Amino acid sequence: MSSISKISETFSPEMEGKSVTLRGWLYRTRTGGGGKMVFAVLRDSSGIIQATVKKENVDDKSFKNASEAYVESSVILSGTVKKDERAPGGYEIQVSSFETVCRGEPFPVAKDLSDEFLLDIRHLWIRSQKVTRILKIRSTMVQAIHEFFQKRSYYLFDPPIISPNACEGKMTLFEVNYFGEKKYLTQSWQLYAEAAIFSLEKIYDVSPTFRAEKSRTARHLAEFWMAEMEAAWMELDEVTEVAKDEVKFIVEKVLEKHEEDLKFLGRDVDKLKKAVAKPFPTITYTEALKILKEKEGVEMQWGEDLRTLEEEKLMKHFDTPIVVTNYPVEIMSFYKPRDPKDPKTALCFDMLAPEGFGEIVGGSQRSTDMKDIIERIEKEGGKPEDYKWYLELRKYGSVPHSGYGVGVERMVRWICGLDDIKDSIAFPRTLTRCYP
């Protein structure tokens, strides 16, 4: 057998007239020419190409294989590359041999394409052009995150996944039976990252995160990936700039490589380009309330959290992501310090994406005030003794430090312009779904 090419490699003028062998799966197939031709479309991870099988050009076995193959049968075929303006990619294969690796059964993706049905057959649906392209974009994004931090001399630090502590509130903890004791799946690497900065100073990771989110929304998963960073000697004003640079870097990398994929997904690429062409503004929570009141007529009580609805209304006034700082201390986790200049607010931030995609990043400076932390753990219904190890970090060489987490699926959703976050991950886990 001659060496195997990827489909995308055949899309070039130099390949015209050359013989190639391709392998993959049938994307579409139909017979024509009074039963003397098969028009197959082959796909592999790199793309799709039309393959024309003429009875007169192949032996009987090949023609039988081609005629009987189903959508998603796996095949290896050889033939000559020919220019064809009408074909996807601009080229087609004139097939000379057609071998079936696994004919299988008729593929079940037929007419009923309801969201629930596609989620039930997610193990098969991830082969679709839509999901394949999203997964490629996601791969580029995660690679960009590594590149961003490695270039800035951050170390990759891997946290534990099973934890004795809550980081983001007890309400969303997933319990694990840990040799007869109650432990939890991680809600964030943060508490461990705060220990690790005393060793590595500047760290990042991309890792699985778990929250028993009890609500069904287009932006919550029960299992998601968070790309987090933590740095010693860093305060709020600096960490928000790192977050802005990171988000911009990720979007630029995706635009560089995936403009065609984004267009296939129906994404308005110009909006995305515009979103990263300008600096991202920083406003405070209090200023956000003012915008909501003056421009949207939304009256919020100072102290209430911004919900999806309010975030959407606020973001009507911005076409780039924005950073919102200084949320009320009362609604913030125990580790977010009071702002000495405005102690009813915390030195914390969220980054909100434009076009109604909402929060994509959450972070803060970290409190080093042991007394305040203990009081607030108690207020959240936690036991300070469970956090003994964490509190000890404040005893030995404590320094100002900050960090944040980027929701990987939230970023995929925004960048790809997806209606629902479930499409931003291969196998979504939600309140109502843990299958397949």
Binding site for ligand 4AD (CB under 6 A): 167-168, 188, 190, 211, 213, 220-221, 224, 226, 228, 359-363, 403-405, 407, 409-410
Closer to ligand 4AD by CB, 47 or 159: give it. Answer: 159
Distance CA 409, CA 400 (A): 30
Q: Closer CB to Mg ion, residue 42 or residue 221?
A: 221
Strands (DSSP E) along 266-355, which ranges? 282-284, 322-325, 338-339, 342-346, 348-353
CB of 391 to Mg ion, least distance (A): 23
Residue number of the CB closest to Mg ion reads 362
Query: Which x/- pattern, by CB under 5 A, does the window 330-369 give for Mg ion?
Result: --------------------------------x-------
Q: Which does 5 bind (CB under 5 to 8 A by kind): Mg ion, ligand 4AD, none?
A: none
E strands in 144-189:
155-156, 162-163, 175-178, 181-185
Phi, psi of 420 (to 5 degrees): -130, 140
Report which of 416, 436, 432 is spatially closest to residue 134, judged by C-alpha positions: 416
Nearer to Mg ion by Cβ, of 88 and 356: the residue is: 356
Give the nearest distance from C-beta 412 to ligand 4AD in angstroms: 10
The smaller minimum CB distance to ligand 4AD, of residues 42 and 197, is found at 197
Residue 47 binding partner per list Mg ion, ligand 4AD, none, with a CB distance cut-off of 5 to 8 Å that depends on partner kind: none
Sign of CA dihedral 284, 285, 290, 293: positive
Dihedral sign computed on CA atoms, order 288, 293, 295, 296: positive
d(CA 83, CA 98): 20
Which among Mg ion, ligand 4AD, none contacts residue 125 (Cβ within 5 to 8 A by kind)? Answer: none
403 contacts which partner out of ligand 4AD, Mg ion, none, CB within 5 to 8 A by kind? ligand 4AD
Residue 242 vs 276, nearer CB to ligand 4AD: 242
What residue 23 binds from Mg ion, ligand 4AD, none (CB within 5 to 8 A, per partner kind)?
none
- Using the minimum distance from each CB to Mg ion, give the nearer residue, 79 or 362: 362
Peptide bond between residue 436 and the one before it cis (omega within 30 degrees of 0): yes
Q: Kindly write down the DSSP assignment for every residue of 64-117, as one continuous string.
A: HHHHHPPTT-EEEEEEEEEE-TTSGGGEEEEEEEEEEEE--S--S--S---HHH
CB of 177 to ligand 4AD, least distance (A): 23
Give the integer Cα–Cα distance in Å for 167 and 174.
Answer: 12
- The answer to whether residue 407 forms part of the interface with Mg ion (CB under 5 A) is no
CB of 177 to Mg ion, least distance (A): 28
Q: Which is nearer to ligand 4AD, 27 or 224 (CB)?
A: 224
Among ligand 4AD, Mg ion, none, partner that 27 touches (CB below 5 to 8 angstroms by kind): none
In the complex, least distance from residue 150 CB atom to ligand 4AD, rounded to whole angstroms: 19
For the chain, the first-to-last Cα distance in angstroms comes to 37
Tokens 């977010």 belong to which residue? 336
Instruction: Please tell me the distance from the alpha carbon of residue 384 to that of residue 379, in angstroms, as a whole number.
Output: 10
Q: Which is nearer to Mg ion, 48 or 408 (CB)?
A: 408
Taking the complex as a whole, the smallest distance from the CB of residue 302 to ligand 4AD amounts, in Å, to: 21
* C-beta separation of 236 from 325 below 8 A: yes
Kindly tell me the burial class for residue 354, based on how many C-beta atoms sit within 10 Å of its own C-beta (0-12, 13-18, 19 or more): buried
Give me the residues that bind Mg ion (CB under 5 A), please.
362
